[in-house]
Structure 1
């Protein structure tokens, strides 16, 4: 498979490795992106297989709760300026309230529903807002969570909604505790609640990479297995919420901290505006010059 400049750029964004190293990794692995990431890590060139998704689209996240139900939603705009506009903030709040009341399963279903308090579909309601605000606006995603009586929701919006986290703490109605955990998730960005949520496939892949990494470092085979298990524990601490050091008390794990308060972490949803979306690359100087020349 031919290695393109775009592929090299993507791999470089994911690993932080140099262009030539990325090209070699892709060439050695016949253009397979995941294998190329592993290859770079095994050679010690890339520190971690973290996807450096470019934060592209603007907009806000928002959270609404009502009794045992809560929704977190992301609505995108073209510019940060519009995202700070009161009309845009009101729109995302209205959309969240609609979602919480009607509980659609998908975005496609949601935009076809009749907007709460209106006689038009959500899609048309958003289009009317576009006409007034002057920018493309889109409902990107949402998640509705339901808790049990005696559980607590934790809602936290960072930077006015650039990052939104909704957490659920079981066995405790301590909303302050739930919000503390939501703040931790916003700051540290875990991928899973606990180790049980990590797939066997992902664990096996990580173990294979760590094993090859240790062998490439020249470690004796007889101690490689023990080293790998130690590094695997470190891997879990990086990606699993309950295994992470609590941001307010790094010497204490999140799971143990919540347990000490009589609760358990049931789940969380974390949205960061624009994550995983490509941003339009614009050269402002060129844009101005093109307008001058007209």
Structure 2
């Protein structure tokens, strides 16, 4: 049996983030050779990746970067537990993945996973690190946001965890403070679309059908139904369309009015929440 020192075990654990027992056993099997032990641990972890394929990933983080060319990239990297999510290894992996995805200007998860990274693909880098972390790790979402300027807001729902809600706001105008405030509003209000015109016709038709049925079941007068239905549709648009929403900091103002007063125009936005 190789003479494996505590210092060697500690050094390898810090490098790879592996468990005490697995690290010690790998060093023993490798006769104390750290490079060989690293290979053993990675091979062992790679075999475990297939077994973890069906596990759920409800934890993780969001990360974003301004690409400096009229685009910004937002990603969600997911894992199984909050213990891994808040670890330096996982956070470091997210930084590397974001850099590679942003460099490729990928607009879909498929394109992002195929992007080059560290002489491999992003997918291979994730699989390699997942093997070491001992959990399923997946790049769940990617969004390339376009605009003249960007406000990036990353929100921590717990001080012990990395950001769980991420917003990228693409805009034109000079009022960066108001743009950040709008990004914060998006993180809270969770609009799905920019304008009411962006809401798919099918979704509007379905909502109209529902509110009409509700109104009729309430016994509303037939003559009043059109106005009641339009009013309730207006409430629907306030829920899903950013420009229709009441401003979180002052509900007497709409987002559209706040933007107008600040001389801002929103071109695009994206919001991710881990696990949502």
TM tier relative to shorter chain:
0.7 to 0.9
Conservation of the 8 A alpha-carbon contact between 1:111 and 1:121: yes
TM-score of the superposed pair, with normalisation by structure 1: 0.69
1:136 corresponds to which residue? 136
For residues 228-271 of structure 1, the C-alpha deviation after alignment (integer angstroms, 9 at most, x for no partner) is 11111111111111111111111110111011111122221111
TM-score of the superposed pair, with normalisation by structure 2: 0.73
Paired residue secondary structure (1:223): helix
1:110 corresponds to which residue? 112
Q: Which runs of 5+ in 2 are unaligned?
A: 1-55, 157-161
What count of residue pairs does the alignment treat as equivalent?
A: 215
Residue 58 of structure 1 and its aligned partner are, at CA, apart by: 0.7
2:85 to 79, 83, 86: 83
Question: Structure 1 pair 152/174, CA: closer, same or farther in 2 (3 Å)?
Answer: farther
Conservation of the 8 A alpha-carbon contact between 1:152 and 1:178: no
CA distance in 2, matches of 1:136, 1:201: 36
Question: Structure 1 pair 105/239, CA: closer, same or farther in 2 (3 Å)?
Answer: closer
CA distance in 2, matches of 1:88, 1:252: 41
Question: Structure 1 pair 132/207, CA: closer, same or farther in 2 (3 Å)?
Answer: same
For residues 160-190 of structure 1, the C-alpha deviation after alignment (integer angstroms, 9 at most, x for no partner) is 32111111122x1433222211111110111
Conservation of the 8 A alpha-carbon contact between 1:255 and 1:264: no
Residue 70 of structure 1 and its aligned partner are, at CA, apart by: 0.9
Instruction: Tell me which stretches of 4 or more aligned residues in structure 1 moved more than 3 Å.
Output: none
Paired residue secondary structure (1:124): helix
The 10-residue stretch of structure 1 (224-233 or 69-78) with the greater mean CA deviation from structure 2: 224-233
Residue 272 of structure 1 and its aligned partner are, at CA, apart by: 1.0
1:246 corresponds to which residue? 247
Paired residue secondary structure (1:231): helix
2:76 corresponds to which residue? 74
2:217 corresponds to which residue? 216
Conservation of the 8 A alpha-carbon contact between 2:145 and 2:268: no
2:189 corresponds to which residue? 188
Q: Which runs of 5+ in 1 are unaligned?
A: 1-54, 276-294
The 10-residue stretch of structure 1 (217-226 or 122-131) with the greater mean CA deviation from structure 2: 122-131
CA distance in 2, matches of 1:247, 1:113: 38
1:157 corresponds to which residue? 154
Residue 97 of structure 1 and its aligned partner are, at CA, apart by: 1.0
